Amino acid sequence: MTEDRNKKIKVQGLINGLILGAVLSVVSILYFYFMIQVAKTAVAVTVGSVVFSYVLPIGIAILFCMNLRKKIGGYWNVRQATTGIFIMFFASYLVVFIIKDNVFAKVIEPNMLQKTETAMVNALNKLKAENPVNAKDVDAKISDMKKALEGEKSITIGQQIQSFGITIIFLFVLALIFAAFFKNEQQQYTS
The more confidently predicted of residues 93 and 188 is 93
Q: What is the pLDDT, as a whole number, of residue 70?
A: 92
Phi and psi dihedrals of 76, rounded to 5? -160, 150
Contact 85, 14 (CB under 8 A): no
Distances, alpha carbon 77 to alpha carbons 87, 179, 180, in Å: 15, 8, 9
Q: CB–CB of 40/122 below 8 Å?
A: yes
pLDDT for res 176: 95
| Mean per-residue pLDDT over the chain, rounded | 85
Question: CB of 13 within 8 A of CB of 83?
Answer: yes
Contact 20, 92 (CB under 8 A): yes
Phi, then psi, of 184 in degrees rounded to 5: -155, 85
CA 93 to CA 59: how far, in whole Å? 16
pLDDT (tens digit, 9 = 90+) per residue, 13-57?
999 999 999 999 999 999 888 888 876 776 777 788 889 889 999
CA distance 132 to 111: 31
Opening angle at CA 172, ends 15 and 14, nearest 5: 10
Better-scored residue on pLDDT, 75 or 149:
75
DSSP symbol at 185: P
pTM higher than 0.75: yes
